[in-house]
Structure 1
């Protein structure tokens, strides 16, 4: 069995750790993204945080965390499986062509990210539709949702809206594949340059994850806002219904101004950067354990040495 399975297991474990540590910021950012009033920025986020604390208490910051933990584990597992599989294919091609291994080029990193991102977005979109609705339950006005679990929420979507509802927001999610493309391209290129000078530490991977995610999220944030809103159940108000990405851009700019496209960006940047930093650091640590487990259960042959 190839290393991409070990990378998938390590990525899933790292995702769980990073999401659990940063979920309150995820909730705060998501609620700000779907809010359609003209309050934005740090003041708006503080108001939302105070409202959550007053109306729901501390558990409100963890609304939908069960689906998020499940979702991030599947998301990272699928992403790393496909990413490492494509990466391995490029490395084998390089060995055949030049007789020796080399780091991926920027174009190869982008292609690997595109394949992995498209597969991940399609497979996991239903999970994030459920999570978006669960984590924004108080802002969507569905009081009954407070007592419902993820399974019941999924059954409600299936009953009320049909299977196609699980793929609401898939188009912007596919466009957002550019986010991990930017992230992993920056990560791989900077990592290759640093590895040429010294052995990288866990803290190096923490910083690499933070820097690469900061670049990716800053560039793609307006699409993140539109995706979150499209994943909500669409209301009767014409301004709240987005028929396409372009329609979403037009309506947000018309009713909320340009700043509406960046609602919640402060907490999202902090959450994304910390999540990516913890993810990359945890994944590097968990990779060796994942390999050991696979060897132990006979799913992988032992090697003299293993590199992540």
Structure 2
């Protein structure tokens, strides 16, 4: 088994575990990003208060709306990203070694090269998995009417009475059909431009992570009294720190992406409709101010930092375990 494939599978596994643990925070954050009702904006709810409101009026299930396609998307995204990241990094390392033979550099992959490798991997990932995330966003932002708002039996049609008080569940197929009816085939690539720009987020994240990890390993190597390698807790903290820095820089793009992928509000007011990425940015700043570009940021920082830390920790442990297992069986092939 190649090293790239090991990292791809480990990345998918780590991503799924992180997603399961932090998904309610992700749902709340997506709703905060797409909220444009002035009345609701005046009552600025904290993360926990927002979660309680969803549970109170829509039930626990709504916190996990879109979980199934999200898990598929996470596995696909992390698997694709880590697979291509390892391949591109292998190529970059080969180039660095070749340059050292020619008398340039020390043979290691520099910060800029790490940034390029992460960006290329991110672009491949975005183009392949964007349709999944459009569906997930639709399901996360779909609001279920509370029972007190359901019309009485006398005001409801025979069809509505037959299906009971609860409206039919909004599932993956409904979201897919809704996106297609609204914008056709290309509707599944809504928000792809800000998402492509957002590859700078994992690029910055991985650049910081690889740099910090490299320095920590070098320090351990110089310390003769320290025979242990990098621990899972240290990887957790490095992953959290790297994600925090990347999230603060790129958050406004996340808000734009969520607004474009969510169901478009039907009204005569032009500020409700976004023609594209730049139109969305201009209207957000014009009608909501700069604060509109950072809606739900505190929730996102908690969710993304925690998820990234878990992902890195689990991924590294899975890679170690698989390499150890395959090493014993003599099945580990040379890295690509």
- In the superposition, the TM-score normalised over structure 2's length comes to 0.82
**2:272 matched residue in structure 1:** 240
Is the 1:137–1:146 Cα contact (8 Å) retained in structure 2? Answer: no
Q: Which moved more, 1:42-51 or 1:208-217?
A: 42-51
Q: Does 1:286 align with 2:318?
A: yes
SS of structure 2 residue aligned to 1:197: helix
CA displacement at 1:101 relative to structure 2 = 8.1
Cα distance in structure 2, aligned partners of 1:148 and 1:58:
15
1:100-134 deviation line (CA, Å, top 9, x unaligned): 98442111111101100111111110000000000
* Contact 2:99–2:107 (Cα < 8 Å) also in 1: no
Equivalence for 2:142? 137
The residue number in structure 1 matching 2:62 is: 60
Structural mapping, 1:201-220, within 5 Å: 201-220=231-250
* Greater shift in the superposed pair: 180-189 or 131-140: 131-140
Contact 1:184 1:212 in 2 (8 A): yes
Alignment gaps of 5+ in structure 2:
151-165, 221-228
**1:222 & 1:76 partners in 2: Cα distance?**
23
1:177-216 map, 5 Å: 177-198=199-220, 199-216=229-246
CA shift, 1:235, in A, is 3.0
Larger Rg: 2
Offset from partner CA, 1:193-236 (integer Å, 9 cap, x none):
11101221111110111001000111111110010010123233
Q: Is the 8 A contact 1:86 1:112 kept in 2?
A: yes
Residues 145, 98 of structure 1: CA spacing in aligned structure 2 closer, same or farther, 3 A cutoff?
A: farther
Q: Which residue of 2 aligns with 1:97?
A: 99
Partners of 1:40 and 1:8 in 2: how far apart?
44
Aligned to 1:23: 23
Moved more, 109-118 or 90-99: 90-99
Mapped to 1, the partners of 2:185 and 2:167 lie a distance apart of 19
Compared CA separation, residues 169 and 120, structure 1 to 2 (3 A): same
Q: CA deviation at 1:150?
A: 1.8
Residues 167-188 of structure 1, C-alpha deviation per residue, up to 9 Å, x if partnerless? 0110111111111111011111
State the SS of the aligned residue for 1:12.
Answer: helix
Q: 1:291 to 1:158 in 2, by over 3 A?
A: farther
CA contact (8 A) 2:100 2:107 kept: no
1:48 corresponding residue in structure 2: 50
Aligned to 2:226: none
Instruction: Give the aligned partner of residue 88 of structure 1.
Output: 90
Would the aligned equivalents of 1:41 and 1:265 in 2 still touch at CA under 8 Å? no
Secondary structure of 2:143's match? helix
| Aligned-residue offset at 1:239 | 1.2
SS at match of 1:249: helix
Say how many residue pairs are matched.
302
Give unmatched runs, 5+ long, in structure 1. none
Return the offset for 1:67.
1.3
1:31·1:139 contact (CA, 8 Å) conserved in 2? no
Q: Is the 8 A contact 2:7 2:86 kept in 1?
A: yes
Query: In structure 1, what is the equivalent of residue 115 of structure 2?
Result: 110
Secondary structure at 1:43's aligned position in 2?
Answer: coil
Could you tell me which of 182, 187, 192 is aligned with 1:165? 187
Provide TM-score, normalisation by structure 1: 0.89
State the 1:295 CA deviation. Answer: 7.7
CA deviation map 1:3-27 (0-9, x unaligned):
1111000000000000101111101
